[in-house]
Every structure is written in C-alpha cells, then in structure tokens.
Amino acid sequence: MPGPFFRRARVLAVLTCLNLLSIPAYAAPPIRLEVGFPPGGTTDVMARLVANALSAQINRDIIVENRAGASGNIAAASVAKAAPDGNTLLFAPSSHAVNASIYSDLPFDTLRDFKTVGMVATTPYVLVVNPKLKSGSVGELVAYLKQHPGEVAFASASAGTGQHLAGEVFKKAAQVDILHVPYKGSAAALPDLVAGRTGLMFDNIAVMLPHIKSGKVNALAVTTAQRSSLLPDSPTVAESGYPGFDIVGWFVLLAPAGTPADVVDQLNQGLNTILVSKQLTDKLAKLGAEVKTSTPQEADRFVQDEVHRWAKVVKEVGIKPN
C-alpha cells in the first residue's frame, strides 16, 4: 500500500487539477469603437447600432467612445496611434476622406495609417431651409440668395464633412454668395437653423426627417442622383436644374495600420454577416442608410478613390486647407 507521503501527493495533485479547472478562461478585452462626433448624430447612432450587432455576432464587448472635434480628426488620430491588435477601431464617415485635403497638419496619414475593415452604409443628404426664407423649391431658394448676396449662412456638422462639401458644391454650381458656419455636430447646428440664425443646411435625411415633418424646416431636394424613398416627393438637386449633382455620405470601419490580416478578415466577416441581417438593415434604413458589404480590399480601394475624388472637389470649389 502506498505510504502517507504518496497519499498526500495524490490529494495535492487532485486539488491542483481542481484549482486549474476553476480558473476562468481568458476573456478578450472589449473592443473600443471610436466616433469622431457627438452623441445623437447619424454617425453616432449608426455606430452604436453596428457595435451592438457586431458585439453579439463575434461574442466580444464593444464600447463606443465619442471623441468629438476637428471634423472627426481627434478620434482618427487616437485610432491611428492605437496598438494594431484589433481592439481599437474607428467608425468613419465620408469626412474622413475629405479631411485629407481640408487639413494641412493632420497628425496621421489618411491612407497609410489605417487598414479598412469594410464598408457599412451610404446615405443621401437633404437640402433644408428655414421657413422664413419662403423658398418652396431650389429655384426659389437660388433666386432669394441672389437677391440677398452674403446675407444668408449655411450650417454644417463640421468643416470638411460631406454636408459642408455639399453646401460648397451647391454654392459654386448655383453661383450664390452664402457663408459657411461649421458646428460640432448636426445636433449643435439645428437650433440655429430652426431659429433662423442660419438659413439652410445639407444633412442626413434621418436627422432632418422629424423636423421636416414638424414644419420646423422645409425640405427642398436630396443630393443623390435618385430620389429617396424616405422623401419621395422631394426632387433631387440634379432634377432642380443642376445636372450631375450627386453627393452621398458613407460610413466605413477602420483599424490601425499594421493590424494582422486575419484579425481584419474576422472582423470583416462578422461585419458582413450583421449587415445582411434584416434586423439591422431595417434599423439602418430608418436612418436613410443603405447597407454596403465588401471585402477589406474593396473597401480600401473605395476609400482611396474617395480621398482622390474629394481632393479634386476641394480644389475646384476653392476651399483653402487649414
């Protein structure tokens, strides 16, 4: 029979195994999803919808952090400097591509310092005006602006956003003299628009729809080539006398450059899975957004093309880099 020493050794071995079994498995840290705009705007709301769905899909906690300011550049700089391990991501709107031409002192390179995980969605903008302008169409608005040069301002969510660029392109196409007033997000711009301190604004349809329905602002036209199902009675700007006017907002998911390809691919697969689910598609549709799935490579080419496209627009409309 084994002696007392061996019996004690056996007991210790069993206890050690039990202790090992009781140690919880390694839990991956939460993913930090940074948003460069304040809570409540389209970018923030969409990011939170995507974060909740993606979290459930990949079984990882995802925490949305708002780092508002500088047209999203504060959040972008934070993610560009983050460890390339897939634990820090950026929910980037189209202003991310525009900023490369608007700002001359960015602390990151828009193309080299990020790896694109995938496309998320596109969304049209709508041109809205304060009712005091008494403009029921784009033609009436342009006539009013020409009669009152320099007296009317247009608001935007921030300098360099798609909303800002839509206003600048419209200003040049219509040959009107209007002043740009940037805000820190759409929510901050709306009170001045409703009060009449600014006269018009291009913004996401979903943000403006409740205010259009309540009569606080009037919708004149959408910025895309086709009409929107959310505002079927509103013509396009192109229909309203400016052929070729076609501006759409978009949203992508970015990771720091150097993030391993297998990590990016896993995130992309999870993203594409949730984007084709009816539950998320319906929620995004209420924001006026149309989902867009892609591979990381397709999304990366899209962002590169947009950077080059907006660089030309910025030069054409005469926006000076900061």
What does each C-alpha distance from 265 to 93, 231, 252, 270 come to in angstroms?
21, 37, 15, 9
Q: Give the pLDDT band of residue 20 (cuts 50, 70, 90).
A: very low
Q: Compute the distance between CA of residue 64 and CA of residue 52 in angstroms, rounded to an integer.
A: 9
Specify the CATH number for the domain of residue 178. Answer: 3.40.190.10
Is 102 a member of any domain?
Answer: yes
Domains contained in the chain, number: 2
Is 90 a member of any domain?
Answer: yes
Give the structural domain span for 218.
124-222
If asked whether residues 212 and 265 sit together in one domain, one would say no
pLDDT of residue 26: 56
Is 39 a member of any domain?
Answer: yes
If asked whether residues 218 and 128 sit together in one domain, one would say yes
Q: Which of 222, 238, 265 is the last residue of a domain?
A: 222
If asked whether residues 216 and 292 sit together in one domain, one would say no
pLDDT of residue 19: 54
pLDDT of residue 130: 96
pLDDT of residue 13: 54
If asked whether residues 116 and 253 sit together in one domain, one would say yes
If asked whether residues 67 and 141 sit together in one domain, one would say no
User: Cβ distance 236 to 225 under 8 Å?
Assistant: yes
Residue 8 has pLDDT above 50, yes or no: yes
Q: What is the pLDDT of residues 124-161, one digit of tens each?
A: 899 999 999 989 999 999 999 999 999 999 999 888 78
Mean of pLDDT values over 9-19: 52
If asked whether residues 102 and 132 sit together in one domain, one would say no
| Sign of the torsion formed by the C-alpha atoms of 297, 250, 306 and 97 | negative
Q: What is the pLDDT of residues 191-250, one digit of tens each?
A: 999 999 999 999 988 889 899 999 999 999 999 999 988 899 999 999 999 999 999 889
pLDDT of residue 158: 81
Q: What is the pTM of this model?
A: 0.79
User: Cβ distance 68 to 161 under 8 Å?
Assistant: no
DSSP per-residue string spanning 132-194: GG---SHHHHHHHHHHSTTS-EEEESSTTSHHHHHHHHHHHHHT---EEEE-SSHHHHHHHHH
Q: Give the HSE-up count for residue 104: Cα atoms under 13 Å, Cβ half-sphere.
A: 5
C-alpha R_g of the chain: 24
Averaged pLDDT of the chain: 90
Specify the CATH number for the domain of residue 59. Answer: 3.40.190.150
Is 3 a member of any domain?
Answer: no
If asked whether residues 128 and 79 sit together in one domain, one would say no
If asked whether residues 106 and 128 sit together in one domain, one would say no
Percentage of residues in the chain with pLDDT exceeding 90? 72
Residue 10 has pLDDT above 90, yes or no: no
Q: Compute the distance between CA of residue 210 and CA of residue 226 in angstroms, rounded to an integer.
A: 21
Q: What is the pLDDT of residues 256-301, one digit of tens each?
A: 999 999 999 999 999 999 999 999 999 998 888 889 999 999 999 9
If asked whether residues 110 and 55 sit together in one domain, one would say yes
If asked whether residues 38 and 91 sit together in one domain, one would say yes
Q: Which of 179, 205, 222 is the last residue of a domain?
A: 222
**CA-based nearest residue to 37, from 92, 118, 98:** 92
If asked whether residues 136 and 113 sit together in one domain, one would say no
Is 238 a member of any domain?
Answer: no
Is 4 a member of any domain?
Answer: no
If asked whether residues 105 and 186 sit together in one domain, one would say no
Q: What is the pLDDT of residues 43-89, one digit of tens each?
A: 899 999 999 999 999 999 999 999 998 889 999 999 999 999 999 99
Please enumerate in sequence order all residues whose Cβ is within 8 A of that of 38, keeping only pairs 6 or more positions apart, or say none: 44, 66, 68, 184, 185, 187, 188
pLDDT of residue 102: 87
Q: Compute the distance between CA of residue 196 and CA of residue 179 in angstroms, rounded to an integer.
A: 14
Is 5 a member of any domain?
Answer: no
Q: Which of 222, 240, 273 is the last residue of a domain?
A: 222
Residue 16 has pLDDT above 60, yes or no: no
